[in-house]
Structure formats: structure tokens, C-alpha cells
Structure 1
Amino acid sequence: MTLRSLLKRAIPVALALTLTACGFHLRSALVLPPDLGPVRVVSVDRYSPLAESLAQALTRAGAVPATERTTDATVLDLMAEQWGDRPISLDELGRAQEYSLRYAVTFELRRPDGTAIVPRQTIELARDYVSNPVQAIGTEGEREILQGEMRREMVASVLRRLDAVARHATAAAAAAPTEVTPPPTSDTTTP
């Protein structure tokens, strides 16, 4: 065996050991709260692509979508959805060359009675992109692609928050001590 063939065999083993040593593991399946029931995604924007994507992702995760006639539905309320650009670098003429695209979503998950399963919270994502002020062709298309990627990442982030709450509730229920009632004592007296 040559040194080269020995290295070819040792490198994959070393990489596998490195991955297991760092704590890497595949993400497990999404867990939804057990008492979720039918789910309706509501947004301030009636035609929000994020709301549509979240509804589809929840259905794929096993949630039952609420219909128009469903009265007792759990509501995933998208209270705010904001996009913003901020220049982060300028050229010698003071024109913006690089931007930071920001995307923030505020949401809450409520039971049919109005109590919060997941309290109101905001998730914010940011990505930087280059925009050549002299050659603007293609910049808008790149920004749209970046928005689509950020929207997909936002769907995953919201679902991870729902998953974390469901896992926490399941763990708390499993760790809660069960109430043990003592066996009844028999006070039978014989005459």
C-alpha cells in the first residue's frame, strides 16, 4: 500500500470522525403542538406569498388546513411583514454599491379561544448584495431571487419556532410529576 492510497482511505474516515465530534446531527422531523387542530394562516397582506408558503409548509408538516367554514381554527397570525434596503458601502462618487436587504416578520400562534400558543415575536433576516451603480442591468432580478430565498428561509424559521414550542411543551409534560393518589384504606371492623 502506498502512502497516497492510505491517505485516500484515511481522509473520509477522519472527516466522518470530525463531524461526529463537533456535535453535527441531522435535523429531526418537525413537531407541531399536539392540540393544534385545523390551522388558518392570516396575514395583513391578503395576497402575501409568505402566508401561502407557510400554509403549504404546515400542511406538509401534518397540520390540517382550516376551510372557510371552520369556526374553531388555530390561527397563525402574520401581524407585520416588512422589507427594507440599506446602503452599506459607497463608491468614490457617493453612489451606493452594496446594500443590506432586511426582512422582518412579526407573528403569533393562537388557539381558537384566543390564548397564545406561541406569543408574539419578530424574526429578522438580513442579506447583503452588490449593486453596480453604473451597470444596473440584472440588479433587480438578483434582488428578486434574494427575496425569494429569504422568504423560504423565513418559512423555515417560523416553523422552527413552532417546533421549539411544541418540543418544549412535550418535554415539560413528560417531566411533570404525575399525581399519585394513595390506595384507599379499608377500615373494616369485625364485630
Structure 2
Amino acid sequence: MTNNPLSKKLNWRVSCLFFFFTLSLTACGFHLQGEMQLAPALHRLYLQTNDPYGHLANNLRQFLKASKVQLVSSPASASTILTIIRDESSQELLSVSGTQQTRQYNLRVTVVFEISDPNGIPLVNPQTLTETRAITVQSNQILGSSNEANLFYQQMRRNLAYAIMNRLASKEITQQMTGSYPKPK
């Protein structure tokens, strides 16, 4: 290191800038994806889905484990069951070119889930989440557009898995599950 006063002044400014940037992010409620505080009843959970190896289920398992949820292998050994009732993809045509080729369409993924106890009694009524993305197709890139659509569907399912986690951590669902809302740590 040098004893250059300019270098020390620059390091101090960078440190201050970093500090204020970090402070502003935390002040607005920003936090990295990771552990979420869930109701105690959700800490021992069975994930029930028709596609256990699909993108939605894999992302959900990853987010649940990051939140210290113990995923069990049978509904009988769970305190709650998270059931993915529906996970659907669809496309909607938005516009066509002058040569009647598809130019733009919407991709949509809809997920419906509910939470029940091991006896199948609903604890939280079915919740519906939808994500939509517009995709534009260039006439010279028609083959690549299906790959692009598949990537969008994967990203949308990851976003929906995170949205499910946000819903599970919400004050409303926590109150339904426990009758109270835990104080943040």
C-alpha cells in the first residue's frame, strides 16, 4: 500500500459510498433471496405435486430448504401439506406480421396451491398466482423462439416459486396458520 493521501481519500469515499448504498437498500426493505420466516406449522412440510421433478417443484424445494423447512417424504409425517393443485403454461397471440407470421405473444404460467393438514383439512384456501411475459418473434429466428420461450417458462416458474414463498411468509397466512404473527428476529 502507498501512503498517497489521494489514495486514502478515495478509499474513504468508496467506503462511505458503499455504506450509504447498503443502508439505503436495507431501509427500503430489500433483502437477498434466502431464508424467510415461516409459521412453525410449516417447518415440517410435505410437498405434493403432479410434477415432483419440474422446475416449480425443484425451485420450491430449494427455497423451502433455505428457509430451514424440513421436507418429509410422506404426508403422514408432515405437520402441513403444500399441494400444487395446478401448474399450467399457456400462450396468447398478440400480433401477427403483414405476412401472417406470429410476431408477438404472451407466455403465461398459472399456479394454484393450498395448505392442508395431514388429514386433508384445508388450513389455507387455494391461492392463485399468475406470471405473464411478452415475447417477440423475429421471422429469421423462429427456431430459437421456442428455446427462448422455454427459458422464459423456467424463469417464470422460479419467480412463482419465490412468490409462493412470499405468500407462505405473509402476515395473512401466518395468522391463518397460528392465530398470531411472529415478531421479526
How does the TM-score come out when normalised to structure 2? Answer: 0.73
Determine which structure has more spread, i.e. the larger CA radius of gyration: 1
Question: Which consecutive residues of structure 2, in runs of 5 or more, have no partner in the other structure?
Answer: 1-12
State the partner residue of 1:34: 40
TM-superposed deviation, 1:138: 1.3
| Pair 58,169 (structure 1): closer, same or farther in 2 beyond 3 Å | same
Contact residue 55 and residue 154 of structure 2 kept, 8 A: no
TM-superposed deviation, 1:91: 1.0
State the partner residue of 2:127: 121
State the partner residue of 2:180: 172
TM-superposed deviation, 1:47: 4.1
Further displaced range: 71-80 or 161-170: 161-170
Counterpart CA distance in 2 for 1:171 and 1:26 is 27
State the partner residue of 1:79: 85
Counterpart CA distance in 1 for 2:30 and 2:73 is 34
TM-superposed deviation, 1:48: 3.1
| 2:76 match: secondary structure | coil
1:24 aligns with 2:28: yes
> What letter corresponds to residue 41 of structure 1 in structure 2?
L
How does the TM-score come out when normalised to structure 1? Answer: 0.71
TM-superposed deviation, 1:170: 6.6
| Pair 137,55 (structure 1): closer, same or farther in 2 beyond 3 Å | same
More RCO (CA 8 Å, sep 6+) = 2
Contact residue 124 and residue 176 of structure 2 kept, 8 A: no
Question: Which consecutive residues of structure 1, in runs of 5 or more, have no partner in the other structure?
Answer: 1-8, 176-191
Alignment partner of 2:98 out of 92, 103, 109: 92
| Pair 174,156 (structure 1): closer, same or farther in 2 beyond 3 Å | closer
Contact residue 31 and residue 166 of structure 1 kept, 8 A: no
> What letter corresponds to residue 24 of structure 1 in structure 2?
C
Contact residue 118 and residue 162 of structure 1 kept, 8 A: no
Counterpart CA distance in 2 for 1:153 and 1:120 is 19
> As a proportion of its length, which structure holds more helix?
2
- Give me the CA root mean square deviation: 3.5
TM-superposed deviation, 1:126: 0.1
Counterpart CA distance in 2 for 1:159 and 1:122 is 13
Contact residue 109 and residue 132 of structure 2 kept, 8 A: yes
| Pair 43,170 (structure 1): closer, same or farther in 2 beyond 3 Å | closer
User: CA-to-partner distance for each residue in 1:68-97, whole Å, 9 max, x for gaps?
Assistant: 4x6242211011111001111221123210
> What letter corresponds to residue 129 of structure 2 in structure 1?
I
